[in-house]
Amino acid sequence: MTITLLIGCNQKANAPETTQATSLTGTIVEIDDHGNAGTDLYIAPFTERGWKLGDTLEATFATGQKIQIKFVENYGDVPEGEYLGRFSTSTKQFKIAINMGNISKTLELKNQSKVVLQKVEAPSTN
């Protein structure tokens, strides 16, 4: 008589968690010559969260100020004077800016201060 023991066959494999963080925290690491705020954030965490060009993001700064920025490819993708966020073509870092403006002076932003980004969900059309 042969007895076969199946041990551990009913256990689920430990799959990685698929829940996505709803916010992303970074640090302002550079204020450039135009007053744009360069961060230490790169594209991967944006992609992981499903954020894409055209999305509206809320940026909350260490000062408590909150603004809405449009996630775009180029400065000219928003009207003059509007807030935007884009990846630098040279450093690949995420920058927060005002088209044709100086966000660091406008919001009194400083190097090494924190910024938290969160996607603004479009209102439901039910």
Q: Is residue 11 part of a domain?
A: no
Cα→Cα distances 118→20, 61, 62, Å: 12, 12, 14
Which position has the token pair 């894409």?
Answer: 52
- pLDDT of 107 > 60? The answer is yes
Q: Does 37 map to a domain? A: yes
Whole-Å CA distances, 43 to 24, 52, 69, 71, 93: 11, 10, 16, 12, 8
Q: Would you say how long the chain is, in residues?
A: 126
- % of the chain beyond a pLDDT of 70: 80
pLDDT grade, residue 15 (50/70/90)? Answer: very low
Q: What is the pLDDT of residue 114?
A: 98
Confirm whether 95 is domain-assigned: yes
In a domain, 126, yes or no: no
pTM, entire model = 0.80
Domain count, the chain: 1
On whether the CB atoms of residues 97 and 31 are closer than 8 A, the answer is no
* Per-residue tokens: 89: 């073509």
CATH at 106 = 2.40.30.90
Q: Give the domain range for residue 35.
A: 23-119
